[in-house]
Amino acid sequence: MKIVAVDPGKVTGICILITNKDNTNFVVNWVGEMRWDERFQVARALVAGTWPQRAVDPVAGPPDVIVIERFRLRQGKAYVQAGSDFPSIQVQAIIETFVWDWNRKRTLPPKLLLDGESDGLTKVVFQEPNIMSRTQMRDEDNYLLQGSEHIKDAYKHARYYFITKVRINHDHWTT
């Protein structure tokens, strides 16, 4: 299974996880950032499963799920955000549109799959930002996640999805 998680914004963090065959563990396949000026090209390639070209992809093709951090304009932030172009929402919309289009090409009628739905198409799952405070980074992944907070946030969204929605045996794991 291929899980792509994004922390959307002017600079978007991306993390790609690949699970093992029995979905009990994962490896980090790729982490990186998408710049604002490349949002259309990278988002389309992520959805199609062709990004990044330099990564070795043991699961060819599009991701099974794309996890996106949900953006909500909070009351306390409304004044600060006045005049904003809301890049987080733009990135969300771009990804959702490409997923819908990709699924449309694979099935009729076209669908945008949400959490809980599955029929072999790519689904979109939104997560609240507060899950990051409950999700730790695995020691073996720390060396990949140095630097960018956007990459760390995308990793935590991917790992949280893996822990809460994918992994079969939950007994010995903590978030």
Q: What is the CATH number of the domain that holds 56?
A: 3.30.420.140
pLDDT in tens, 146-175: 879 999 999 999 999 999 999 855 444 454
Name which residue leads in pLDDT, 109 or 4.
Answer: 4
What DSSP assignment string belongs to 117-170?
--SSS-EEEEE-GGGGGG-PPPGGGGGGG-S-HHHHHHHHHHHHHIIIII-S--
Name the residue with tokens 């963090």. Answer: 13
Give the confidence band of 105 by pLDDT, cuts at 50, 70, 90: confident
- For residue 148, is it within any domain? yes
- For residue 156, is it within any domain? yes
Range of the domain at 133: 2-73+84-166
Domain count, the chain: 1
pTM given for the model: 0.85
